[in-house]
Amino acid sequence: MPVKHDLFKDLGFTREQVAERSKADKKLNQLLVDYDEIDAGVLKAEAGAAGSVSDEQLNRLKEKRLRIKDGIMQHMQQT
């Protein structure tokens, strides 16, 4: 069963903090857009709605989502 991750809880920042920072940081904003897209793809694949997605393909999607989340965290920790 697909489980939506709470990105903001994972990051330790509020939605408002992330939104405010992303207004001034185009790269952060793009990472957030990328994260939403890949997260939707993971959820769709986990639900079986993405057709015949192999376990390997799903794992690659999850790894990509994690890399994007790491990039978001790096941008949020910058002062």
pLDDT of amino acid 50: 54
Q: Note the Cα 50 to chain centre separation in Å.
A: 18
Q: Rounded CA gap, 5 and 9, in Å?
A: 9
pLDDT of amino acid 79: 53
Q: State pTM to two decimals.
A: 0.87
Residue type, 17: Q
Q: Rounded CA gap, 58 and 64, in Å?
A: 10
- Structure confidence by residue, pLDDT tens digits, 14-65: 999 999 999 999 999 999 999 999 999 999 888 876 567 888 999 999 999 9
pLDDT of amino acid 47: 84
